[in-house]
Amino acid sequence: MQPYLELASLRITATIPLSPRIYSTIFLEAMAAMAYIALRGAALAAIVALIHWVYRWRHPKCAGTLPPGSMGIPIIGETLQFFAPNPTCGLSPFVRDRVKRYGSMFKTSIVGRPVVVSADPDVNHYVFQNEGKLFESWYPDTFTEIFGRDNVGSLHGFIYKYLKTLVLRLYGQENLKAVLLAETDAACRGSLAAWAAQPCVDIKDGLSTMIFDLTAKKLIGYEPTKSSESLRENFTAFIRGLISFPLNIPGTAYHECMEGRKKAMKVLKGMMQERMADPERKCEDFFDHVIQELRREKPLLTETIALDLMFVLLFASFETTALALTLGVKLLTENPRVVDALTEEHEAIVRNREDPDAAITWAEYKSMTFTAQVIMEIVRLANIVPGIFRKALQDVEIKGYTVPAGWGIMVCPPAVHLNPDIYEDPLAFNPWRWQDKPEITGGTKHFMAFGGGLRFCVGTDLTKVLMATFIHNLVTKYRWKTVKGGNIVRTPGLGFPDGFDIQLFPKN
């Protein structure tokens, strides 16, 4: 009987109409349940998509076999490790540790771009020799923002060759012999004499000023004035941020660098407008020659390319050489045996002159055999450029690995210059290791301080002349001692965070 009573009760209940409030409550609860299920589904889908994205980041697609290595954290990659400070002349821990773990080729990600790093001399040589075929010049977007989107490093083919020919009018050997050798000699004499009259001088700052004043005059007709000092300060800010973490907020080196670029470009634009408005102006410096090219009926240059060219030349002409020479003075200070050998070579040159105070001749410069060895050893250890970047134009097979099309490849000169299999005791400052070796004029597999291939540095000869004339005047006329500083740091570019102060004492 009980089951029938329950059934009857259910029938009666079912016929009783529910209130609208109850219907609303049931509807809201159902909607809440559906929303909860949908949110859980969306969250699950987002998690799955995130996991897939992270997996694809860490395991990029490749038609062949990628080199071993880690892509690091998504977006950031291994940028923080790449820019970590290193207070030695040795190979950066970033490269050293990965070469030890993965071998001479490894993959990574720097400032958001996938890159293959090469510490292999044969691979480096292959990359340089195949520019324009398999690879092209490339730098991360942050570098391009600093140098300018139409800088010479971003140009290819005919326009690059055209600009290189244009620049060689200034930095080629003919102009070095006829003009620049005597001017660099005079600049070195005057600067050293001025420094010797002071209690001490920050040699890095002094060299930067000396070389900037010299090259800025040749490039844009600038004289050593307060305005030129202001312009140089902008380029000094530029080097501090050029190879730094790309965080463009006030207080960072990168932001300071970008501000320096804006100010320097403002000066250059003003000069260009002034000269373009004066068609009767004679050619007095390199900028005037560039303006002439812009005035041609069908110019190959644009104003943007011309301005970026002048900006890059002003920077490259002084700061890299000043850094190498500063390290050179530090290495000479720590190695008196090398100073003695240099002094012997240069005093012999002075004794053979009719006038001991005469300027250096081209024949004398070419006779500086040991000096050339010292310069090679300085730039080998200086490693001013921590990496030379190219981009693969197609999938490229190298030594069993594939560099995918569009990926960057970073040739790492320090890994070659500090390789104990190539250079015995590589951290030792030993100019004699270059004895009886042919002069390197275009880069080799084992020496790429000035680059290699089609983009071998056009300012190489000027750099060597500057270093040789400075060394000649330093060792023949002065003694010196360290006052303070001299510590180096690489981030990964070379820097002297606490300066390098020396005191000069005139001989005799």
Q: Decide which of 38, 58, 78 is a domain's last residue.
A: 58
Judge whether 70 lies within some domain.
Answer: no
Cβ-in-10-Å burial (0-12, 13-18, 19+) of 200 comes to middle
> Which CATH number goes with the domain that contains 172?
1.10.630.10
Output b/e per residue, 457-481; b: 16+ Cβ within 10 A. Answer: bbbbbbbbbbbbbbbbbbbbbbebe
The answer on 154 and 45 residing in a single domain is no
Tens digit of each residue's pLDDT, the chain (508 residues):
444 434 344 343 444 455 666 656 666 666 766 777 777 777 777 787 767 566 666 778 888 899 999 999 888 889 889 988 888 889 999 999 999 999 999 999 988 889 999 999 999 999 999 988 999 988 777 677 777 666 656 556 667 777 778 788 888 888 899 999 999 999 999 999 999 999 999 999 999 999 999 988 888 887 766 554 567 776 766 666 666 666 778 877 778 878 878 888 888 888 888 888 888 888 888 888 888 888 888 888 888 888 888 888 887 777 889 999 999 999 999 999 999 999 999 999 999 999 999 999 999 999 999 999 999 999 999 998 889 999 999 999 999 999 999 999 999 999 999 999 999 999 999 999 999 887 777 678 999 998 887 777 888 899 999 999 999 999 999 999 999 999 999 888 888 989 999 999 999 7
The answer on 156 and 41 residing in a single domain is no
Q: Looking at this protein, which amino acid is placed at residue 62?
A: C
Cβ partners under 8 Å of residue 341, min gap 6: 370, 431
pLDDT for the residue 492: 82
pLDDT for the residue 10: 39
Q: How many domains does the chain have?
A: 2
The answer on 154 and 53 residing in a single domain is no
The answer on 162 and 48 residing in a single domain is no
Judge whether 328 lies within some domain.
Answer: yes
Measure the CA–CA gap between 290 and 312, rounded to whole angstroms.
Answer: 14
Measure the CA–CA gap between 486 and 499, rounded to whole angstroms.
Answer: 6
pLDDT for the residue 5: 39
Number of neighbours of residue 72 by Cβ within 10 angstroms: 18
pLDDT for the residue 2: 45
Determine contact, residues 451/113, Cβ cutoff 8 Å. no
Cβ partners under 8 Å of residue 375, min gap 6: 328, 464, 467, 468, 471
Cβ partners under 8 Å of residue 345, min gap 6: 368, 369, 370, 371
The answer on 314 and 429 residing in a single domain is yes
The answer on 443 and 330 residing in a single domain is yes
Judge whether 96 lies within some domain.
Answer: no
Helix axis angle for 253-276 and 303-334, nearest 10°, is 130
Q: Consult the annotation and say whether 200 binds a ligand.
A: no
The answer on 361 and 222 residing in a single domain is yes
Task: Tell me the pTM.
Answer: 0.86
Judge whether 307 lies within some domain.
Answer: yes
Judge whether 471 lies within some domain.
Answer: yes
Judge whether 122 lies within some domain.
Answer: no
The answer on 38 and 163 residing in a single domain is no
Judge whether 111 lies within some domain.
Answer: no
Judge whether 337 lies within some domain.
Answer: yes
Q: Decide which of 14, 34, 58 is a domain's last residue.
A: 58
Measure the CA–CA gap between 153 and 144, rounded to whole angstroms.
Answer: 9
The answer on 424 and 282 residing in a single domain is yes
Measure the CA–CA gap between 51 and 426, rounded to whole angstroms.
Answer: 44
Domain with 428, as residue range(s), is 150-383+418-506
The answer on 171 and 47 residing in a single domain is no
Q: Looking at this protein, which amino acid is placed at residue 77?
A: G
DSSP of 50-67, one letter per residue?
A: HHHHHHHHHS---SS-PP
